[in-house]
Homo-oligomer: A and B are copies of this chain.
C-alpha cells in the first residue's frame, strides 16, 4: 500500500516530520518498504493546498521557510478548510497536528471523528482528544479496522505509548510512575546545583523550556494531562482531569533540595496512577523524594521517564526526550511505520 497523507495543521511538529521524511526517504523505502505521498495540507494560518497526485515537499518547505502561504504553491486546489481537507480529498491517512485544547479537545476531536467517519486513519500528537475521550476514539478505530496513533502525546518521540501498545503486548500493567514534564525536571536539576527556584525558572524560560506564564508546567497541569492519558490507555480506566490529585514544584526550596542531597535522595515531580484493591484509581502528580536506587532518580535535565509495573516483567522503564520539534515529528513517523506494517505487509 502507498499511503496518501493529509496534514491538518502545519506547525513545527508537522514540519519536523516532513524534514525527517525528506532526509530519510531512501532508508524508509529500502528498510521499511514505506511509500507515501502527501496530497494535502491545511493550516488555519498558513493556508491550504491539495493535489490528488501529491505535493512536492521541498517546494512546500521552501514556501514555509520564506514565510509564505501555502496558497502560493504553483498548482493544486486552494482554500480548503480542515473539514473539507479530511472529507473531500483522496487522503487515506490524516495527520492531525493542530493546537491543543485540553479541556474540550477541540477542534482536533472533530477532525479525528470526521476522519473516522470517512474511513480514514488518524495519526496525531494532539493531547486534547486523548485526554478527552481516548477510549472512545480507540474503539471507533478498532471497529472500523482503522489506525489511530498518538505516540507523541507523552514523552514526544520516546516510544512510550507504542512500547505499551505493541512491544509490551501481552502484559497487564498494574501501575505506572513517571517524570512526565521536562521543564520541572530541568528546574529541579538546576536547583540541585545551587540555583534558587526563581533563577532556575528564568533559565528554563530563556532556553524556551518554560512559557512566559509557567503555570502549566510548574503547577503540574501538563503532567496531569499525561496522567489522565496513561491511566486510560495503559490501565484501561476512564478518568478525567478532575480525578487526579495535583501539587506542583513551586513550594520546593533550596533547603529541601539540600536535605535530600544529604539523605542521598533527589526531589522529582512524579506523575503516577495505580489500581487499588477495591478497583478505584489513585492518580496524582506530586513531588516525591526518591532514593538514588530508584531508576527515576537518575533522570536529570529536561529528560522524561516512565516506569510501567507489569505482571510478567515487573518494572520496565523507558527514558528519553519529552519535547522538541524533531523529536515530536519523529513520534508521527513511529506511528506511520506501525500503520504501514498493519496494512502493507
Task: Determine if A321 is an interface residue (Cβ-Cβ < 8 Å).
Answer: yes
Best-buried of A20, A27, A158, A343 by chain B (most CB within 10 Å): A158
Q: Specify which chain B residues have a CB less than 8 angstroms from the CB of A31 in the assembled complex.
A: 169
A residues 285-302 near B (Cβ < 8 Å) are 292-300
Please give the count of copies of this chain that the complex contains: 2
CA distance A317 to B172 in the complex (A): 21
A residues 56-97 near B (Cβ < 8 Å) are none
Please determine whether A171 and B330 come into contact, CB atoms closer than 8 angstroms: yes
Cβ-closest chain B residue relative to A24? B170
Task: Determine if A203 is an interface residue (Cβ-Cβ < 8 Å).
Answer: no
CA distance A156 to B166 in the complex (A): 17
CA distance A334 to B171 in the complex (A): 9
Q: Which of B157, B169, B292 touches A298 (beta carbons < 8 Å)?
A: B292
Task: Determine if A312 is an interface residue (Cβ-Cβ < 8 Å).
Answer: yes
CA distance A343 to B168 in the complex (A): 19
Please determine whether B298 and A20 come into contact, CB atoms closer than 8 angstroms: no
Give 5 closest A-B pairs by Cβ, nearest first.
A298-B298, A317-B319, A316-B320, A159-B167, A312-B330
**A-B CB contact pairs (8 Å), 24 listed:** A27-B170, A27-B172, A31-B169, A32-B169, A157-B312, A159-B163, A159-B316, A162-B166, A163-B163, A167-B167, A169-B334, A170-B333, A170-B337, A293-B298, A295-B295, A295-B319, A312-B326, A312-B327, A313-B327, A315-B319, A316-B319, A317-B318, A318-B318, A342-B345
